[in-house]
Amino acid sequence: MLWKTAIIPFSVPFKEPARTSRGVYHKRRVRYILIQNDAGAFGIGECAPLEDLSCDAGPEYDQRLIAACRAFSESGSIDDAVPASLPSVLFGLETAMAHAKAGTVRFFDTPFSRGEQGIPINGLIWMGSFDEMLRRLENKLAEGFRCIKIKIGGIDFDQECELLRRIRERYPDPETLELRLDANGSFSPENALHRLERLATYRPHSLEQPVRQGQWKIMEKICRESPIPIALDEELIGINTPEERHALISSIKPDYLVLKPSLHGGMSGSAAWIREAQSSGAGYWITSALETNVGLNAIAQWTAAFGSSMPQGLGTGLLFTENINGFPIFIRGSELYCRADGAEPTFSSILSRQSAMIAR
């Protein structure tokens, strides 16, 4: 069955600048894919590449997105239309198709989608000044989060250690408060192990991506010698074939994978990463890549189908001053829930826009 498609760009501002070691985000630019067939089935997906990070981001992105959507319209097959080098487009079309097939934004029948069970999530602390990070931390603790993810590498390392010292002074038991650290590749090969030794005194659960991706031998040494379990995130970007995935995991031997469908091959590619992790004995958790509620809901519905009890990185919808309303997901305490009332979003804030780039 053939599909008509439309692409609508959208932009949402962050409440506060989202700072990583790579730079600062002030607005989130996304593209929504709308699909519809002659039988009236309708679906919406979100393409949300991250500038300076996604392997498919760049000045030619919109042209490649349009070409992929045209190919999908003609073939009706995502696999035939979208190359693996466009993971955010894969995710957007997979999401739109899942929505259209299910006839609801609750893609799978799970305890989560029925409103019976929440998904544990971590509280995210963005990089900032010491005082800013301390304020954000206090807010997350007051909200009831007992798994905190802290992005480091943006201020003086001694100050970051002081922040962690204060946390552990207040919550000395890692079973009471789990600390996940994310360096976003900000350590150098020369200082990484020394910094990991210092950070180990604060008993973190893990540390993501200590050095920049693409340095497999260095990362293997870090994973082998680190006193802290190491998780890979950026390292997985652009690794698209089964052979490449197996080579990376068997070479580096990480403790965890942090999976973002928009970056790591869509839902299908991320599922392949999960299978690879399980076969090697590595753990994993799933997180958003700062999508709006369209993409965040899709990731949450997909994540719930795996039934993992680990806290996931799905609390990012609160980062924006505005969002796409009407989705059933909401945060209560330190868990993400899905309303059970069956109400569906209307997408009026998207459909009312007149800036569609393509329609067939």
Better pLDDT: 25 or 254: 254
Active site residue 151: yes
Do 223 and 253 touch, CB atoms closer than 8 A? yes
Task: Identify the band that residue 21 occupies on the pLDDT scale cut at 50, 70 and 90.
Answer: low
Read off the pLDDT of residues 72-115 as tens digits, 9 standing for 90 and up.
Answer: 999 989 999 999 999 999 999 999 999 999 999 999 999 999 99
**pLDDT of res. 129:** 87
Q: Minimal CA–CA distance to 304: which of 122, 112, 114?
A: 112
Task: Identify the band that residue 323 occupies on the pLDDT scale cut at 50, 70 and 90.
Answer: confident
Does residue 327 have a pLDDT over 80? Answer: yes
Task: Give me the mean pLDDT over the 275-295 stretch.
Answer: 95
Read off the pLDDT of residues 130-189 as tens digits, 9 standing for 90 and up.
Answer: 898 888 889 999 999 999 999 998 889 999 999 999 999 999 999 999 999 999 999 999
Active site residue 149: no
Active-site position among 101, 149, 151, 253: 151
Q: How long a stretch of residues is the chain?
A: 360
**pLDDT of res. 359:** 47
Q: How far is CA 108 from CA 34, 47, 62, 111, 329, in A?
A: 20, 21, 30, 9, 14
